[in-house]
Every structure is written in C-alpha cells, then in structure tokens.
Amino acid sequence: MPAFRTPAAAAVVLSGLLGLAACDRPTEAPPEPVPATPVEAPAPPVVQIAPMTRADLIAAFDAAASAFAEGRAAPPTPRVAGRQFNLVQAFGCTAPAAAAPPPGLAGTSRTAGDAVSLSLTPADWAQTGLIRQAAPEAEAVEGLWLTRPWLRTPACPATPFDPLMPAGVSPQVYGLAVIFPEGGSRVNRRDGRAYSHVVRSQADGAPTPAPAGGYRLVVSGRLTSFADGRAIRCAASGPDQRPTCIAAVEIDRVAFTDAAGATLSEWRN
C-alpha cells in the first residue's frame, strides 16, 4: 500500500473508499403507502312528513276553491297528491235522529230497543257532473263529506241554537271520493253497504243517552289524483256560489270512536 505524504491526502483517499463501499450497498425500497381508510358519508336524514289533519285538508280545499273562483288552473299551494291524511270529525253531537243519515254523512239514529246506531253509507257520486268531467274513466265513485268546514278541530260545535236565526243545515261543499276505474278491482267497494255500529241500550233498559262529546268518524288514507294530475277538483253553478270541491283519495281505514278516541268499530282495506 503506498505511503501518504500528508494526513490530508490520506483523508481524501479514505473518503473515496467509503463512497465506493456505499455505492455497493443495495438500495432500500421506500415503504409502501398505507391506503387511507374510506370514510362513509352519513346517510341523509329521513324526513318524516306527518299525515294531513282535518285542518290541513280544509286549508287545501280552501286554496283549491279560491283558485277555481279566480279562474286559475291549480292552487299555488304545494302539491298534495300522494300525501297521507288522517281525518277526524265529530258526529252524533245531539240526540239520535229517527232515521239513518243521508249518504256521505256519519250520524246516529234510534233502533229497536232504544239502542243507538252509528252509521255512514258512502254516497254514489259516479253520475255527478264534477266527477264525470274529472274522472271519465270511473265505473264507481264512493264519497263522504267533510262536515262543518268552518270548524278546524275534530270536536262537536259549541254554538247554541238561536231562535232568531233561520234553521237548517249548510250545504256540504268539501268531500273525499274513492274512484274505482272500469274493470278495476271491486275488493274495497262498499256498493251501498254502510259502515255501522250499534251502541246497546243500558242494562236497566233505559235509552242510550247521547254522549256529551258525541262520537268521532276517523278516515285514514292517501290523496291520489284525477286524470289531470290534480288531487282536488272544484265546480260551481255561478260566480256567487261557494265552489264544491272533491279530493280523490284511497282509504285504508274507517273507524267509529268515542270522544276520547277509544275505537268502537273499524274497517281496514
């Protein structure tokens, strides 16, 4: 090995030898990247839309009646076709009548043995002008009225009788119609059969008294639409008559309850 004349020269040679040794070492591969754990996006919240109440239905009818009177094709309110509804309205708030109520209205009447019959017979609206125009494909149309549209709550009215005011019942103007197309299923058709329930007379044979809070008709279902896509159609005979408006619906449940909500009888489709 040659001798180096100076320490500096020896250091230079040593540094070169170390560099060559380093070049002979295998190159270490960089570490594999760790894949990031995917973060799942949270599911969008499910928006629960409450069924339309009696007050909601009346508001939708009012908007449709106003739009019809103004000559507009549809009300400016949000679309209601497809919405669920739960209609509760009072009946039997006074003494039972001598005869069953007219079709489309729930009511109470006396039966043999002084029992009380609760009944509702769907009205046949298939041949009315409004329905013939709005649902020309209908084979049968069964309807019921939404009574006392000036009363938003499902309670018996507290208005006293006034002998100075003319007696009578205001004409019905808002209704729900179940439309059965020609050739369709007849499973849920009533075909004139009433929903009925009998409240038996008291144990001592005394007549069944009218309850203080009356009874309740409960109708649950879904708003559908007529041929033009609207859920509510209206008609009137002139500009000074309040429009009569009908909503197309499917009915899932009809029930009679007492004023506290206890079910007396129910029918499900």
Q: What pLDDT does residue 4 have?
A: 47
Q: Is 25 a domain residue?
A: no
Say if 19 falls within a structural domain: no
Q: Report the candidate in 231, 75, 243 with the shortest Cα–Cα distance to residue 149.
A: 243
In a domain, 93, yes or no: yes
The confidence score (pLDDT) of residue 20 equals 47
DSSP 8-state class, residue 192: T
Phi, psi at residue 245, to the nearest 5°? -125, 140
Residue 212: the pLDDT is: 82
pLDDT of 115: 87
Three-state SS for 60?
helix
Residues 6+ apart with CB under 8 A from 58: 146, 149, 152, 174
pTM score of the predicted model: 0.79
Q: Is residue 123, in this structure, part of any structural domain at all?
A: yes
User: How many structural domains comprise the chain?
Assistant: 1
**For residue 89, what are the contacts with CB-CB under 8 A and spacing of at least 6?**
54, 106, 146, 147, 148, 154, 216, 217
By residue range, what is the domain housing residue 71?
A: 54-157+171-268
Which H/E stretch holds residue 21?
A: helix 7-24
Which structure tokens are listed for 218?
């409960």
Query: Would 249 be classed as within a structural domain?
Result: yes
What pLDDT, on a 0 to 100 scale, did the predictor assign at position 176?
Answer: 98
CA-based end-to-end distance of the chain: 109
List of the chain residues with pLDDT < 50: 1, 4, 12-14, 17-18, 20-21, 76
For residue 10, being part of any structural domain is answered with no
The answer to whether residue 13 is domain-embedded is no
Calpha distance 198→117 (Å, rounded):
4
Return d(Cα 54, Cα 137) in angstroms, integer. 29
Rounded Cα–Cα distance for residues 246 and 31 (Å)? 74
Q: What is the pLDDT of residue 1?
A: 47
Distance in angstroms (rounded) separating the CA atoms of residues 195 and 210: 19
**Contact residues for 179 (Cβ-Cβ < 8 A; gap 6+):** 131, 135, 138, 140, 141, 224, 226, 248
- The reported pLDDT for the residue numbered 209 is 73
Q: Give residue 121's pLDDT.
A: 98
Is residue 31 a part of any domain in this protein? no
pLDDT at 78: 54
